[in-house]
Structure 1
Amino acid sequence: MVISTVIIVLCLVAFAAIHSFMASLKFKRAIIKALGPRAEKLYLPVYSLIAVLMILPVVYLLYRYPGQVLYVVPYPWFWLMVTGQAIAAVIAPRAFMDAPQRFRILSQLSVSGTPEAGELKIRGIYRWVRDPFLLSGLVILWLTPFMTVNLLVLYIFASIYLYIGSLHWESRLVSQFGDKYIQYQKEVRRIIPGRGYKGDVSNF
């Protein structure tokens, strides 16, 4: 039991280290230098594929060694929680479509006021929450209608990693969009949806 938990933690640490390195600006600059314009189309699919492949050992270990069962939510609450997870799963692709300019490598490597940085466009789900990926991730994790010891370890680690990643991501957005993003931060919460954004809203 303890050994399986230790192995899972080691796998998660390795995943976090590699995943963070591949998301770093240093790595992205190297990719742009090596591949040129092709990097924009290749980076995100390859990055996502590698992330999935790296997490598969953790999934296998959880399947083989789930650990002691802590709780199982009874019906009908079980299905209500699963429904909440399904709704949250829609948020991530929706968030990507609402702000594609945030995910272009050249834009991420730029600074505020340059043509490469682009314009800060607030639309869709970003009008109510600044980091819909963090929101959806936490909802999917913690609405799981059952819990085991090793699953709890994974969820705590993942929640911390997601939150730290969100802080790092927003520091980039401040560099990319400057004072406009700082003002946006003052009006819209990071995780918990609140009142809608009152500034300029883009429909395109």
Structure 2
Amino acid sequence: MLLYSAVSYGIFLISVVYLIGFLGRLFVPKHIDDGVTLDWPLAALANIGLITLFAVQHSVMARKGFKARLTRLMPTAIERSTYVLISSLTLVLLFWLWRPITVSVWTVESPLARALITGVFWIGWAVVFVATLLISHFELFGLRQALDNLRGIAPQAQPFKTPALYKIVRHPLYLGFLIAFWATPDMTAGHLLFALAFTAYLFIGAHLEEKDLVALFGETYRRYQKEVGMVLPWRRKGQP
């Protein structure tokens, strides 16, 4: 089970690194504006279908009821790794079948502005990485569960905590993704479609996740909701 979790984690890392290159058009064989072209309505329909497939899989498998059914078929120690593995493979499928729509929406010509926007792109990914470390990176991606199982340690519920970035927004991971999706000096129609669709999904996914968190932490999480913004940083007037 530990080997299975390690392989799943490795595939996840590869898919995320490829996603960075896919959006940034960096060092990958096929990026967001590359590949077999179709007429733009067909390309848009195909791409929306791929994003919808990822969104449905990612959200349905994360729900408590689905997890309960899944653990009837496999050990609890690899349930999270299975979720991570299937999510990663669905993302790989998106990379493979994505159809570019290369109509330019904006192109930034200034070298300084391009460098600044590219810097913001990398800041977004840094926020994503830091956000996973601030909670429990290896538990989030399934390795800790398999390792604890190997050691004979019973699963333990994580206490509610709001370290660093989590005092600014409730979902800094999603904020980092939003920054990375939108920060580009060369926005094409295909990239815009990706950014719009995944932005909508992130907010829907955050709302679904919040229901689970309220059920888990109760009034503590409700107070947190009132004090800190969900994805975008804000505070209610009068809050410390």
User: What is the DSSP-based 3-state SS (H/G/I as helix, E as strand, rest coil) of the residue aligned with 1:147?
Assistant: strand
Q: How many residues align?
A: 184
Runs of 5+ consecutive residues of structure 2 not aligned to the other structure: 1-39, 143-154
User: What is the DSSP-based 3-state SS (H/G/I as helix, E as strand, rest coil) of the residue aligned with 1:150?
Assistant: helix
Counterparts in 2 of 1:4-153, with a 5 A limit?
4-39=43-78, 42-58=81-97, 60-62=98-100, 66-74=101-109, 75-100=111-136, 103=140, 117-153=157-193
Residues 124, 48 of structure 1: CA spacing in aligned structure 2 closer, same or farther, 3 A cutoff?
farther
Q: Is the 8 A contact 2:131 2:173 kept in 1?
A: yes
Q: Percent identity between the aligned chains?
A: 25
Equivalent in 202, 219, 226 of residue 179 of structure 1: 219
Q: Is the 8 A contact 1:129 1:194 kept in 2?
A: yes
Q: Is the 8 A contact 2:57 2:87 kept in 1?
A: no
Match for residue 108 of structure 1?
none
Residues 9, 44 of structure 1: CA spacing in aligned structure 2 closer, same or farther, 3 A cutoff?
closer
CA drift of 1:89 comes to 0.3
CA drift of 1:104 comes to 8.7
TM-score w.r.t. the length of structure 1 is 0.78
Range with greater deviation from structure 2 (182-191 or 157-166): 182-191
Match for residue 35 of structure 2?
none
CA drift of 1:8 comes to 1.5
- Distance across 1 between alignment mates of 2:194 and 2:80: 31
Residues 104, 52 of structure 1: CA spacing in aligned structure 2 closer, same or farther, 3 A cutoff?
closer
CA drift of 1:121 comes to 1.3
CA drift of 1:174 comes to 0.7
Residues 104, 148 of structure 1: CA spacing in aligned structure 2 closer, same or farther, 3 A cutoff?
closer
Q: Is the 8 A contact 1:117 1:176 kept in 2?
A: no
Match for residue 110 of structure 1?
none
CA drift of 1:158 comes to 0.9
Runs of 5+ consecutive residues of structure 1 not aligned to the other structure: 106-114, 200-204
- Distance across 1 between alignment mates of 2:93 and 2:233: 31
Range with greater deviation from structure 2 (3-12 or 49-58): 49-58
- Distance across 2 between alignment mates of 1:33 and 1:93: 32
User: Any idea what the Cα deviations from partners look like across 1:121-142, whole Å, max 9, x if unmatched?
Assistant: 1212111111112211111111
Match for residue 151 of structure 2?
none
- Distance across 2 between alignment mates of 1:97 and 1:47: 22
Match for residue 202 of structure 1?
none
- Distance across 2 between alignment mates of 1:189 and 1:29: 30
Query: What letter is aligned with 2:124?
Result: A
User: What is the DSSP-based 3-state SS (H/G/I as helix, E as strand, rest coil) of the residue aligned with 2:70?
Assistant: helix
RMSD: 2.7
Match for residue 111 of structure 1?
none
Query: What letter is aligned with 1:61?
Result: R
Q: Is the 8 A contact 2:168 2:233 kept in 1?
A: yes
